Amino acid sequence: MPVIHLHRAAPAKPAAGEACNGCGVCCALETCPLARLRFLRRRGPCPALRWQAEEGRYRCDLLADPGRWLPLPAAFGRRLVGRWIAAGSGCDCDFEPDAG
């Protein structure tokens, strides 16, 4: 059973297929295909996973600030990253963390 560390105020992981709520579980567990290429690592936590205290959730910094990580114009970078991480398509993480 993998051990992941998340902010205590992070929302609970939604069920697979439900809308993303920024729980951070997927990115703390492993990196997406784009992050694997960018950071040359397969296991998490992803270096681009960022806690957003004002929102009370995690965000993908590859998507939020692609210019910081990739040599791409911001608008094109957000579209590209959004496609690579399947932004907006719902939770695809089948790992169920222990609430304890």
Residue type, 40: L
Q: What pLDDT is recorded for position 99?
A: 63
Pairing between strand 49-52 and 57-60?
antiparallel
Q: Would you say residue 90 lies in a domain? A: no
pLDDT beyond 80 at 100: no
Q: Would you say residue 94 lies in a domain? A: no
- Domain range enclosing 46: 25-84
Q: Which tokens is 11 given?
A: 């929302």
Dist CA 92 CA 69 (whole Å): 24
Dist CA 8 CA 21 (whole Å): 15
Q: Would you say residue 96 lies in a domain? A: no
Task: Say if CB 6 and CB 12 are below 8 A apart.
Answer: no
| pLDDT class of 46 with cuts at 50, 70, 90 | very high
pLDDT beyond 80 at 62: yes
> What does the mean pLDDT of the chain come to?
89
Q: Which tokens is 30 given?
A: 């492993």
- Return the half-sphere exposure (C-beta side, CA atoms, 13 A cut-off) of residue 22: 18
pLDDT beyond 90 at 56: yes
Q: Would you say residue 97 lies in a domain? A: no
Q: Would you say residue 15 lies in a domain? A: no
Span 16-43, mean pLDDT? 91
Q: Would you say residue 31 lies in a domain? A: yes
Q: Give the number of domains in the chain.
A: 1
Q: What pLDDT is recorded for position 36?
A: 92
